[in-house]
Structure 1
Amino acid sequence: MGLSASTRVKNSLSQSPEFESACEAAFSYCLSQTQHAFQGVFPYQLHAASDYIHSLLSDAHPHRLILRWLSAPPARSQVDSALRFITPDDHHDALLGPLQFKAWALHLYTDAVLSSAGKALLFRVPIGVAGIAGIGALTRSGNRFVGTAIGAYSLGVAFSILAGLSG
């Protein structure tokens, strides 16, 4: 395994021709919205750009990570957070050029996929633990057996989610 979850997702997206193509198409879309009067994308256009990227990666050029972990585009708060991460502290209203735009999209979608995977982990583990504990109580299994089963289940769920982050 070796790589952290964020590195896995970031590498998968940055090396994906589908993601590259979607970023280029979204950047061109934003330029066309301003009738090519500017050489970059305004921050107010980023939410629409995020939706556009998501639709391309879900439909036209499907990407495995997006299909598996993001059923909906990232929220506006995630879009704004990615912008704050990419731009210097006092330049949040500056135009984003093509390289900054791609860096923004990469950060946004990495964060969104990891957030969704984290939610899946927080949802799956407690349900499985409750099921194992319930079965253990019904069968009057020993605490050691139930504890081992819970640990193995939790580790298995975490491992499957981490393995699923390799797009």
Structure 2
Amino acid sequence: MGLSPSKRVDAALRRAPAFAASCDAAFDRCLADAQRAFPGVRRYQLADAAANIHSELRRTLPLVRRWVPSPPPRTRVDAALRAAGLEGEGELSRAQFGEFAAELFREAVLAGALEAALVRAPAAAAGIVGVGLVARAAPGVVGRVIAVYAAGVATAVYLSLG
């Protein structure tokens, strides 16, 4: 399938002009909210900044519209800060903020896609088993049909990530 889902989402985010524009707008808004008292975004501003980015991306970027229905919660914001290696920073520069946002939304998209796949697959598998029982199909046939369906769901989700 080529790139891993994580790299595929990361590339899609980073090459989207809307993502860069929303990060810049959120960064500038954080500076304005703090009355330019700091040269960067402070940690306490990150959750609001993430909500601002989400609001903008939800309108302009299909990847976020489909897989991230609500702004990332504070726990995900903190996890993204750690994953980006920025937890020790008192404030984030524009470049650091962009890295943080890419990490945050990449993980949010992947989590949303995984959740959607996990919600769809069990219900469909139960339906396939029910049809197999009614049709008196051999268990091996039902198992293969479920495997093919699961592979199809995984492929559909993967292809939608880029």
TM-score (norm 1): 0.94
Following superposition, the deviation at residue 2 of structure 1 comes to: 0.7
CA distance in 2, matches of 1:55, 1:86: 22
Alignment pair present for 1:56 and 2:56? yes
Following superposition, the deviation at residue 21 of structure 1 comes to: 0.3
Alignment pair present for 1:81 and 2:79? yes
Alignment pair present for 1:118 and 2:114? yes
Q: Which residue of 2 aligns with 1:141?
A: 137
Unaligned runs of 5+ in 1: none
Unaligned runs of 5+ in 2: none
CA distance in 2, matches of 1:54, 1:127: 30
Q: Which residue of 2 aligns with 1:70?
A: 68
Percent identical among aligned pairs is 41
Following superposition, the deviation at residue 121 of structure 1 comes to: 1.5
CA distance in 1, matches of 2:134, 2:72: 42
TM-score (norm 2): 0.96
CA shift in 2, pair 1:71/1:96, >3 Å: same
Query: Which moves more between the two structures, 28-37 or 78-87?
Result: 78-87
Q: How many residues align?
A: 162
Q: Which residue of 1 aligns with 2:94?
A: 98
CA distance in 2, matches of 1:63, 1:108: 15
Q: Which residue of 2 aligns with 1:43?
A: 43
Q: Tell me the amino acid that sits aligned with residue 118 of structure 1.
A: L
Q: Which residue of 2 aligns with 1:127?
A: 123
CA distance in 1, matches of 2:86, 2:47: 19
Q: Tell me the amino acid that sits aligned with residue 38 of structure 2.
A: F
Residue-by-residue CA offset, 1:99-134 (whole Å, 9 max, x unaligned): 000000000000000011111111111111100000
CA distance in 2, matches of 1:8, 1:30: 29
> 2:104 is matched with which residue: 101, 108, 123?
108
